[in-house]
């Protein structure tokens, strides 16, 4: 039977539930850190290589601090994400600021701390200069349009709201050079949750060729090439993870053939991956409240799509394990649901599972990225706690569950007294 491994057993989880009620997300420190080290090791051949963890995937300073210890920086797209990274001890050029539709106050902060700034649009060159000032080093985000096929989550590059066209890349760097900028980086991000390793090698090749062309036309040199994020994870048990060593070997070959051969080395390679770093190492743990039988059979959980909205948002598959029934035959077909008043509040539809009873504990896999992070308060659902399963098997609460007081905290009750 195809399954997915868990870093804990039922007895351990029952112990944890005694202290921290369900639902909660729990992250596996050991596996997460080991995987993070593998990425760094795979690219050790590139001097100055750095991964900037995409904070939006798992915006928790404990996670960011663990990743900093592996040598990661932080990829941020808003002021609060920058400040969160600073809380975890990451600042200055260890921050990549890749934003879009950016307001002045966010550029101001990025410039103030000396973050790497990636521009999303050619009009932002003047916007930045007039409102904030230009940094010493700057990058532009490339959208290859029809020159590159997209994938399902991010869509076709031509439809994507991100980045400069190819023509604008030449125009943008020319303008920046004329304004006196001497230090340049370059960025792209064209895929999301992509499992084909060759896709990343092809993207790197596209960028290396563009760097050569830009150098030849404009006589500028690049200090870094940021290959973005988008490395997929095997949500389904039959899928395989992206082989990072294979990707690295393929990129190295292109780097030698294109960058080194044209005399443009050294150039630092950067990633700003999020999902692949934390996604597989988070688990949403939830208890069964009710079993309902009408035209279909429903499992009702104490978690809702407000804890993990990927299935509702893009029909995403998340594997489900019923604790203690790992080897039981899959005798029933269930819709696994939350308690929101929205009929797409389902973690799985027509999923073949063991026979489930109230109080069973379900583990929803791969909730480590875009899980708690995408949470919301619709139906006044309170956001859950986040726990860290430490390498020594102890459990640390790294975010407490919301309370009703938290939910009320932004309401102007004082004004309500005088309101009629």
Residues tagged active-site = 341
Task: Report, in Å, the least distance between residue 72 CB and ligand PLP.
Answer: 13
Question: Pick from 231, 211, 207: which is nearest to 219 by CA?
Answer: 211
Question: Pick from 291, 346, 289, 359: which is nearest to 320 by CA?
Answer: 346
CB nearer ligand PLP, residue 354 or residue 375: 375
CB nearer ligand PLP, residue 57 or residue 361: 57
CB nearer ligand PLP, residue 215 or residue 310: 310
Question: Pick from 57, 60, 55, 28: which is nearest to 385 by CA?
Answer: 60
Q: Tokens for 326?
A: 């790992």
Task: Report, in Å, the least distance between residue 247 CB and ligand PLP.
Answer: 13
DSSP string, 6-66: -SS-HHHHHHHHHHSPSSEEEEEHHHHHHHHHHHHHHTTTSTT-EEEEEGGGS--HHHHHH
CA–CA separation, 20 and 15 (whole Å): 9
CB 120 within 8 A of CB 162: yes
CB nearer ligand PLP, residue 109 or residue 370: 370
CA–CA separation, 81 and 64 (whole Å): 11
Q: Is the peptide bond before 23 cis (omega within 30 degrees of 0)?
A: yes
| CB-based closest residue to ligand PLP | 229
Phi first, then psi, for residue 358 (nearest 5°) are -55, 145
Question: Pick from 164, 386, 308: which is nearest to 173 by CA?
Answer: 164
- List helix spans (H) across 157-196: 166-178
- Helix, strand, or coil here: 376? coil
Beta-strand runs (E) in 15-133: 24-28, 50-54, 73-76, 95-98, 116-119
Taking CA atoms, 144 is separated from 123, 186, 337, in Å, by 18, 13, 40
CB nearer ligand PLP, residue 372 or residue 381: 372
Residue in this structure with the two tokens 């630092």, named with its chain if needed: 268
CB nearer ligand PLP, residue 169 or residue 189: 189
For residue 182, with 0-12 CB atoms within 10 Å meaning exposed, 13-18 middle and 19 or more buried, which class applies? exposed
Task: Report, in Å, the least distance between residue 162 CB and ligand PLP.
Answer: 7
130 half-sphere exposure, CB direction, 13 A CA radius:
6
CB 325 within 8 A of CB 354: yes
Task: Report, in Å, the least distance between residue 361 CB and ligand PLP.
Answer: 28
Residues that bind ligand PLP (CB under 6 A): 54, 56-57, 75, 98, 189, 192, 228-231, 272-276, 369
CB nearer ligand PLP, residue 22 or residue 192: 192
Task: Report, in Å, the least distance between residue 88 CB and ligand PLP.
Answer: 17
Task: Report, in Å, the least distance between residue 134 CB and ligand PLP.
Answer: 21
């Amino acid at each position: 039977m195809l399954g997915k491994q868990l870093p804990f057993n039922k007895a351990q989880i029952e112990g944890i539930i005694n202290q921290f009620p369900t639902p909660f997300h729990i992250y596996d420190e050991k596996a997460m850190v080991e995987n993070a080290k593998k990425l760094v090791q795979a690219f050790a051949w590139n001097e100055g290589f750095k991964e900037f963890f995409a904070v939006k995937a798992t915006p928790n300073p404990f996670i960011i601090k663990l990743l900093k210890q592996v040598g990661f920086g932080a990829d941020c797209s808003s002021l609060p994400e920058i400040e969160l990274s600073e809380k975890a001890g990451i600042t200055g050029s260890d921050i990549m600021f890749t934003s879009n539709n950016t307001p002045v106050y966010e550029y101001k902060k990025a410039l103030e701390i000396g973050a790497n700034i990636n521009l999303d649009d050619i009009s932002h060159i003047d916007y930045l200069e007039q409102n904030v000032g230009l940094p010493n080093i700057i990058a532009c985000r490339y959208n290859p349009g029809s020159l590159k096929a997209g994938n399902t989550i991010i869509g076709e590059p031509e439809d994507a709201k991100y980045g400069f066209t190819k023509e604008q890349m030449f125009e943008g760097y020319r303008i920046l050079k004329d304004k006196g900028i001497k230090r340049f980086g370059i960025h792209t991000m064209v895929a999301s949750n992509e499992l084909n390793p060759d896709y990343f090698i092809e993207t790197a090749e596209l960028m290396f060729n563009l760097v050569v062309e830009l150098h030849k036309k404009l006589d500028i040199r690049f200090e870094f090439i940021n290959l973005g994020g988008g490395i997929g994870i095997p949500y389904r048990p039959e899928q395989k993870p992206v082989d990072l060593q294979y990707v690295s070997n393929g990129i190295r070959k292109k780097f030698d053939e294109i960058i080194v051969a044209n005399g443009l080395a050294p150039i630092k390679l950067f990633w700003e991956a999020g999902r692949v770093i934390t996604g597989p190492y988070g688990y949403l743990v939830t208890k069964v409240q009710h079993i309902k039988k009408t035209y279909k059979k429903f499992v009702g959980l104490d978690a809702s799509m407000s804890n993990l909205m990927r299935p509702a948002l893009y029909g995403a598959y998340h594997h489900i394990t019923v604790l203690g029934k790992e080897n039981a035959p899959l005798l029933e077909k269930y819709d696994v649901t939350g308690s929101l008043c929205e009929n797409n509040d389902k973690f799985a539809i027509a999923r073949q599972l063991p026979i489930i009873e109230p109080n069973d504990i379900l583990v929803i896999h791969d909730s480590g990225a875009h899980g708690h992070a995408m949470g919301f308060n619709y139906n006044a659902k309170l956001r859950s706690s986040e726990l860290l399963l430490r390498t020594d098997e102890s459990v640390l609460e790294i975010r407490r569950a919301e309370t009703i007081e938290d939910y009320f905290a932004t309401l102007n009750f004082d004004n309500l007294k005088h309101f009629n």
